[in-house]
Chains A and B, each alone.
Chain A
Amino acid sequence: MIHPNTSDKIAKIWLWLSALSIILVLLSILGYVFIMGAGSLSVSFILDMPTNNWREGGILPAIIGSLLVVIIALSFATPIGVGAAIYLTEFTKEGRLTKTVRIAADSLNAIPSIVFGLFGLAFFVFYLKDYTGGPSLLSAGLTLGFMILPTIIRTSDVAMRTVSFSEKMESYGLGATKLQTIKNIVLPEAFPGIITGIILGMGRAIGETAPIIFMVSLNPVIPKTIFGSGNTLTTQLYYLAMEGISMDVAFGTALTLITIILILNYSARKMNNYFSRNLRR
């Protein structure tokens, strides 16, 4: 038998290596995208129109497309998600409704992104085509909105639940109505948590490809209306890489995308820290 102290040492080396490997994997992915993309990325890459059928020039249409779908997704998911969380925490007791909504949100969250793509195609692009304009940025944005709704419900739900009970009671004790208490106590205190959820949802909406892949077009033009088709960073990246159109532009796009995600991730972290400090206080 190996001496326990020896196996302890071996096991610890393995555990350290496992953690190290995570860091290495992350660094190699980030590093690779950075090295490959840094050559293409520049201000004009972001602000210029593509030329020569995406092979040269910039990626402005995809940037604008991504921006528009994210705005649409958030304008759908934020009011509904936060509203749902308010109802769940302030207007109703823990019970069948809260449980069912949580299960539904978790299930929705688990649905494969390509299934959202199928659904979006059948529902927004064909069934509601008179309202959405078919395969449009609006359809893409709403599909993403459906997809990030559970993230926003769950994080807002948690944020509001941690608002201290005694402060709420104090507010009621001073004669405030339910709506006043929600507006003056609950929402302000839960605000950083809600924002964190929105940022997370935003990151997810920007990074997703499969749900909207059937709704985009590769036309290198700036979308004029959300009822028309457009392109996003992710879908453009997919076509450029899959069809080998231009690896340079593909990596420039990937680096742009990663930079956005890094910024969002960083701000969510900052928010979260602020949030937990607030709690301790």
Chain B
Amino acid sequence: MDKENKIEVRNLNLWYGDKQALKNNSIKIRKNHVTAIIGPSGCGKSTFIRCLNRMNDLVEGVKITGEVSINNKNIYDKDVDVVSLRRRVGMVFQKPNPFPMTIFDNVAYGPRIHGIKDKKKLQEIVEKSLKDTTLWNEVSDRLDKSALDLSGGQMQRLCIARTIAVKPDVLLFDEPCSALDPVATGKIEDLIQELKKEYTIVIVTHNMQQAARVSDYTGYFLLGELIEFGKTKQLFENPKEKSTEDYITGRFG
């Protein structure tokens, strides 16, 4: 395997009951780059990204075949501990979902469940995570207030802070800005650029401009199949496939 590749997906198939939602997809995701997954609604892009940290395990009636290797280890092998996998592959969701707790407890949640009890250490982690997500200046004086009182954009950055507090090495974003206004969206996009220095990032988005702005590589999904994958610039300016071109020029979707 190429040393630069963080994640390698081979012949991935997924069924919801009898319905096949992903069809024989293979893709290589490079380390410390941002890879965007685009496609019309219902194309399977969210399902795909949820295979990378096995969130689909939580859905009843899902069957998966194929291989997803992260750091050369197939995460669907029998001996893989899902819990520690998800710790290494963090995920940020479409709708900001801070827990109904204080801001501090939200960020400290991950470290705590992974066994860190020392108060000072927790404080350090919380401060660092909030600084990394540029939230520190806005909330440092109200860490003990409920996270549910933050604005949508702040909540989403809090969720990112919460995710990086457990020091994952891959970050998955599932349409992280679709519930946010343009200003908040801009902040998150800047943050993603900043975060790729330390993390390998996969982002699902239905917003093509966003994919073009933030990503280095882009994959285009249609009806559960990866139609085209390549450097973002090349895919947007010079798509190889007809249907990719139709989609990015807005002829459907």
Interface size range on B against A: under 10
Q: Is A175 an interface residue (CB 8 A)?
A: no
- List which B81-96 residues lie within 8 A (CB) of chain A: 81, 83
Contacts of A1 in B (CB 8 A): 115
Q: Are A5 and B115 in contact (CB under 8 A)?
A: no
Give bound CA distance, A262 to B113, whole Å.
Answer: 46
Minimum CB–CB distance for A245 against chain B, Å: 55
Q: Is A95 an interface residue (CB 8 A)?
A: no
Give the tally of cross-chain contacts (CB within 8 A): 7
- Give a binary string over B212-226; 1 marks a CB under 8 Å from any A CB, 0 the rest: 000000000000000
Size of the chain A interface, CB-CB below 8 angstroms: 3
Contacts of B83 in A (CB 8 A): 4-5
Interface of A is mostly: helix
Give bound CA distance, A234 to B135, whole Å.
Answer: 66
Give bound CA distance, A4 to B115, whole Å.
Answer: 8
Contacts of A5 in B (CB 8 A): 81, 83
Minimum CB–CB distance for A102 against chain B, Å: 27
Minimum CB–CB distance for A116 against chain B, Å: 40
Which residue of chain B has the shortest Cβ distance to A2 in the bound complex?
A: B115
Give bound CA distance, A23 to B155, whole Å.
Answer: 43
Minimum CB–CB distance for B67 against chain A, Å: 24
- Give a binary string over B96-128; 1 marks a CB under 8 Å from any A CB, 0 the rest: 000000000000000001110000000000000
Contacts of B115 in A (CB 8 A): 1, 4
Minimum CB–CB distance for A2 against chain B, Å: 10
Give bound CA distance, A5 to B114, whole Å.
Answer: 11
Give bound CA distance, A62 to B42, whole Å.
Answer: 64
Give A residues with C-beta under 8 Å from B. 1, 4-5
Give B residues with C-beta under 8 Å from A. 81, 83, 113-115
